[in-house]
């Protein structure tokens, strides 16, 4: 508890520093950097560090001397906007959608988590505590912007219009799943919504996002950027290093959105890195960065909006770091009480909860109607439960789909293997769950 | 000798990874004699080219034909350490032909992202030996993109190029032939050209193919292989083997540089043993041309497979197993594999490591006498 107060206090005390840095970001960015040969004032000429100058005494660059990047926030835990100039002034309709999308995600998570516990789906991962970072960032993007995610970004899909049935059909891998039942639950994808299909290997999507952004940049009149989400754990992968460096050197309009929720499964962030989080790495790559309160939907929205304008205007990447707390277990295969205290969780589940904060704000504005919201939660519950029943009854895709899409066209050897399986299944059908599959 | 000296110089210039590879320029006599393709793949005017020039021309055509095509990798901007991308940046600009940071997993991941948008990515891995940092991106990502997304997304417009194979003095990290690692990965297409015509045709076919492709280019052929190559664009089919010479007594199967060893071995077998060899360039490792191989073995009754990569789990094992299964009643002797040994690729012992013509000929003798 005291830890939170300290964090809040220190964030407040650094506010002025933060605004300086934002100003710095938006003005400095417009001017190309000087790369004069021997740019150091006293004549250093090494090609590898052209801006540096000589000194006559050794001075260790100690991490302790670096000021940690401040955490930008717009509203406090009571839903009070601390600096009116930072109010994004979203209209009631937009705010209502933001709130309801967060609630929908939260409600759907609770039920699907339970349904995994009952053995109805094989696996699930909740988004508890990170709803604001999904919805806030998604709202600040254009739907034309491509999204490369990790797996805990379902809210981005909610915002873009992925339906309850889309989510649940994927989790069941039934014939209505656009992914054709080939991947584990929560590995969503949508061509229509420009959300690139999730894969399990961590960090792999990050250099891919840089490549896609580069290709978009070369298209005439490009108005499209790429955002890639990843956790602070995935940021330790080599692919993250690759992506940061490629995006910086090749000038890619990509937003690196790190969800720093304090844990990678059981590993606390203190065992993940020693530097100033993930945003603190950006300057080492020559990238802009912004750290913010990821439980504050307004801070997330403003940060992402600023980042989007920056990357498209400058054709340069940016690192965003959304600070949050992973309230749920890592996945349904994890029991997080084995590695963290319940009291800590309680705080994040109540006063520091993203939905609670936005609710406080809406109450202040007089935009919140308790009965209406209870009714909404009830109707979402009903939709999710009825969709579960429905998705369960939809047959799985024809088993021959197993052989499709390995290549664009099925090569001869796969045709032969499919035929072999057909013959086998015909002969031994009693051993295979054929009735569960589309014929 | 001259040819190899040139190749040696090229490797030395190109290698910045390993001082050891450049320190001692031990030059052996070449273990193969290049056999130019007898017939041009298409009609029309031709030009005498070595393999790096043919590859350069293929990339030139790809960049010309596709506005979205990009060529990138380590040191490709100035022309590449093997000269394959010479002049391309000047012609197509820094936006389309460019250096990346030195990071293979980044090159592969970046290429996949470019290809996700539908743009054509032609990415170079400086040596096939250094493709392993990108193994995760290639195997878990590129190969599975279309499948795992239910065909919502793919990276079919990407092609990786990687110099591979023995070069006389490349030792552990400038000599490897890693095709078997990738042949175990559904979703990839893997090819190995035997010379300039094949390199040009395969590269253009890969660029235009809708699946992720890897072209392993035997680096010793970049300068050594010279032949008449059609100036116009053409594609060599993926998944098709080439029967380079017909024979009746034994089928010799190889790819890349080894094809030239096997052609010389076929001459030696004719002269010394009066054995008629059918020589087949497999060309495409994945998917591979089972029909052509098995038809040949059914006819000759004997098969010898030769590759530079180590024996155990090398691609020869896949061929041998399939030949055994498909041609069992036609076989008059076991299927024999003559390959690199199950050791890392050595420096000073290279002449004892590679499956040279003498080991291949001894293999033929063994099978004929079986």
> What residue in B sits closest to A412 (Cα-Cα)?
B287
Q: What is the pLDDT along chain B (370 residues), one digit of tens a residue?
A: 333 334 444 454 444 454 444 444 444 558 999 999 989 999 999 999 999 999 999 999 999 999 999 999 999 999 999 999 999 999 999 999 999 999 999 999 999 999 999 999 999 999 999 999 999 999 999 999 999 999 999 999 999 999 999 999 999 999 999 999 999 999 999 999 999 999 999 999 999 999 999 999 999 999 999 999 999 999 999 999 999 999 999 999 999 999 999 999 999 999 999 999 999 999 999 999 999 999 999 999 999 999 999 999 999 999 999 999 999 999 999 999 999 999 999 999 999 999 999 999 999 999 999 9
* Cα separations in angstroms, A295 against A259, A261, A302, A369: 11, 10, 13, 22
Structure tokens at A279: 């945003």
User: Does B110 reach chain A within 8 Å, measured CB to CB?
Assistant: yes
DSSP character string of B301-365:
S-EEEEEEEESTT-HHHHHHHHHHHHSGGG-SS--EEEEE-SSPPPSTTHHHHS--HHHHHHHHH
Q: What is the pLDDT of residue B5?
A: 37
pLDDT digits (tens, 9 = 90+) for A152-183: 999 999 999 999 999 999 999 999 999 999 99
- Catalytic residue among A187, A329, A330, A353, which? A330
Residue whose C-alpha is closest to residue A130's, from A279, A330, A342, A327: A327
| DSSP 8-state assignment for residue A82 | S
* Residue B269 to chain A, least CA–CA distance (Å): 33
CB–CB contact B153 A238 (8 Å) = no
* Residue A201 to chain B, least CA–CA distance (Å): 7
Whether the Cβ atoms of residue B345 and residue B220 lie closer than 8 Å to each other: no
* Cα separations in angstroms, B254 against B281, B300, B360: 5, 16, 11
Characterise B27 by phi-psi region: left (phi > 0), alpha (psi -120 to 50), beta (else). beta
What is the C-alpha separation between B59 and A172, in angstroms, rounded?
Answer: 45
Q: What is the pLDDT of residue A36?
A: 44
What is the C-alpha separation between B154 and A204, in angstroms, rounded?
Answer: 15
What is the C-alpha separation between A232 and B114, in angstroms, rounded?
Answer: 25
Of B110, B112, B239, the CB nearest to A246: B110
Question: Does the annotation count A114 as an active-site position?
Answer: yes
User: Does A249 reach chain B within 8 Å, measured CB to CB?
Assistant: yes
From chain A, pick out residues whose CB is under 8 angstroms from the CB of B68: 215, 218
CB–CB contact B140 A250 (8 Å) = no
Residue whose C-alpha is closest to residue A137's, from A11, A307, A283: A307
ipTM: 0.93
Report cis status (omega within 30 of 0) of the bond before B287.
yes
Structure tokens at A146: 């491509």
* Cα separations in angstroms, B262 against A15, B194, B198, B274, B350: 74, 12, 17, 16, 18
Among the listed ranges A140-144, A208-212, A332-336, B138-142, which one has the minimum average pLDDT value? A332-336
User: Does B157 reach chain A within 8 Å, measured CB to CB?
Assistant: no
pTM across the whole model: 0.92
Structure tokens at A386: 């009825």
Q: What is the 3-state secondary structure (H, E, C) of A273-316?
A: CCCCCCHHHHHHHCCEEEEEECCCHHHHHHHHHHHHHHHHHHCC
Tokens 């030239």, residue located: B260
Report the pLDDT averaged over residues A79-99: 97
From chain A, pick out residues whose CB is under 8 angstroms from the CB of B211: 407-408
Higher pLDDT, A91 or B6: A91
Size of interface A-B (CB pairs under 8 A): 153
What is the C-alpha separation between B13 and B23, in angstroms, rounded?
Answer: 11
Structure tokens at A61: 């660059």
* Residue B131 to chain A, least CA–CA distance (Å): 14
Structure tokens at A110: 């609770």
Residue whose C-alpha is closest to residue A101's, from A138, A75, A146: A138
User: Does A186 reach chain B within 8 Å, measured CB to CB?
Assistant: no
Report the pLDDT averaged over residues A27-44: 50
- Provide the β-strand partners of residue B262: none
Tokens 């498209």, residue located: A312
Q: What is the pLDDT of residue A360?
A: 97
Per-position b or e across A52-62, b if 16+ CB within 10 A of its CB: eeeeeeeeeee
Of A189, A197, A212, the CB nearest to B114: A212
Report the pLDDT averaged over residues A99-124: 96
Question: Does the annotation count A200 as an active-site position?
Answer: yes
What is the C-alpha separation between A77 and A80, in angstroms, rounded?
Answer: 7
CB–CB contact A214 B113 (8 Å) = yes
Q: 3-class DSSP state for residue A160? A: helix
């Amino acid at each position: 508890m005291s830890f939170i107060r300290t964090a809040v206090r220190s964030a407040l005390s650094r506010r002025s520093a933060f605004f300086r840095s934002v100003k710095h970001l938006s003005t400095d960015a417009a001017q190309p950097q000087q790369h004069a040969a021997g740019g150091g004032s006293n004549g250093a000429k090494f090609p590898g560090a052209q801006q540096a100058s000589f000194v006559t005494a050794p001075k260790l660059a100690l991490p302790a001397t670096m000021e940690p990047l401040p955490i930008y926030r717009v509203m406090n835990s009571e839903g009070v906007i601390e600096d009116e100039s930072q109010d994004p002034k979203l209209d009631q309709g937009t705010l209502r959608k933001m709130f309801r999308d967060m609630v929908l995600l939260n409600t759907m998570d609770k039920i699907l988590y339970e349904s995994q516990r009952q053995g109805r789906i094989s696996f699930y991962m909740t988004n508890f505590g990170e709803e604001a970072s999904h919805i806030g960032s998604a709202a600040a993007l254009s739907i034309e912007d491509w999204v490369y995610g990790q797996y805990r970004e379902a809210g981005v899909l909610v915002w873009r219009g992925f339906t309850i049935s889309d989510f649940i059909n994927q989790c069941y891998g039934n014939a209505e799943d656009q992914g054709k039942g080939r991947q584990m639950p929560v590995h969503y994808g949508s061509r229509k919504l420009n959300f690139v299909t999730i894969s399990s290997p961590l960090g792999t999507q990050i250099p891919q996002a840089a490549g896609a952004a580069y290709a978009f940049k070369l298209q005439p009149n490009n108005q499209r950027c790429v955002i890639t989400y990843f956790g602070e754990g995935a940021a330790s992968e080599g692919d993250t290093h690759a992506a940061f460096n490629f995006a910086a050197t090749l000038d890619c309009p990509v937003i690196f959105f790190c969800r720093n929720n304090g844990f990678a499964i059981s590993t606390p962030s203190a065992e993940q890195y020693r530097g100033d989080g993930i945003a603190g790495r950006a300057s080492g790559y020559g990238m802009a960065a912004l750290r913010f309160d990821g439980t504050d939907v307004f801070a997330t929205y403003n940060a992402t909006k600023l980042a989007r304008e920056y990357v498209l205007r400058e054709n340069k990447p940016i690192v965003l770091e959304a600070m949050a707390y992973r309230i749920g277990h890592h996945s349904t295969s994890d029991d997080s009480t084995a590695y963290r205290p319940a009291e800590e969780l309680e705080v994040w589940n109540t006063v520091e909860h993203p939905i609670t904060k936005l609710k406080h704000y809406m109450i202040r504005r007089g935009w919140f109607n308790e009965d209406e919201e209870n009714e909404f939660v009830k109707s979402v519950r009903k939709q999710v439960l009825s969709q579960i029943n429905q998705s369960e009854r939809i047959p799985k895709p024809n088993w021959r789909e197993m052989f499709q899409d390995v290549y664009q066209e099925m090569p001869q050897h796969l045709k032969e293997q499919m035929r072999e399986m057909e013959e086998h299944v015909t002969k031994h059908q009693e051993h295979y769950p054929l009735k569960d599959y589309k014929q | 000798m001259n040819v190899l000296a040139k190749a040696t110089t090229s490797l030395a210039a190109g290698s910045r990874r390993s001082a050891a590879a450049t320190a001692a320029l031990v030059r052996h006599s070449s273990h193969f004699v290049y056999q130019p393709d007898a017939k041009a793949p298409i009609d029309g005017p031709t030009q005498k080219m070595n393999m790096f020039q043919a590859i350069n021309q293929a990339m030139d055509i790809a960049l010309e034909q596709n506005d979205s095509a990009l060529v990138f990798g380590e040191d490709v901007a100035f022309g590449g350490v093997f000269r394959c991308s010479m002049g391309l940046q000047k012609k197509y600009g820094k936006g389309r032909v460019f250096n990346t940071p030195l990071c293979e997993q980044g090159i592969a991941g970046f290429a996949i992202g470019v290809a996700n948008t539908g743009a054509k990515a032609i990415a170079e891995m400086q040596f096939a030996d250094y493709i392993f940092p990108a193994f995760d991106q290639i195997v878990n990502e590129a190969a599975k993109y279309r499948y795992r997304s239910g065909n919502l997304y793919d990276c079919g417009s990407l092609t990786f190029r990687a110099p591979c194979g023995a070069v006389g003095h490349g030792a552990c990290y400038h000599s490897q032939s890693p095709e078997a690692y990738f042949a175990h990965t559904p979703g990839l297409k893997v090819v190995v050209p035997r010379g300039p015509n094949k390199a040009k045709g395969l590269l253009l076919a890969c660029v235009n193919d809708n699946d992720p492709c890897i072209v392993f280019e035997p680096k010793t052929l970049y300068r050594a292989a010279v032949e008449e190559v059609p100036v116009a664009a053409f594609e060599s089919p993926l998944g098709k083997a080439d029967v380079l010479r017909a024979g009746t007594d034994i089928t010799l199967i190889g790819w890349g540089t080894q094809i030239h060893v096997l052609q010389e071995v076929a001459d030696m077998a004719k002269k010394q043993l009066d054995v008629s060899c059918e020589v087949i360039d497999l060309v495409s490792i994945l998917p591979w041309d089972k029909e052509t191989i098995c038809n040949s073995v059914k006819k000759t009754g004997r098969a010898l497979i030769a590759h530079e990569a180590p024996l155990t789990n090398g691609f020869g094992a896949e061929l041998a197993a399939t030949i055994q299964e498909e041609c069992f009643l036609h076989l008059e002797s076991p299927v024999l594999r003559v390959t690199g040994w199950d050791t890392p690729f050595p420096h000073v012992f290279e002449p004892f490591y590679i499956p040279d013509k003498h080991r291949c000929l001894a293999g033929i003798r063994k099978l004929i006498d079986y």
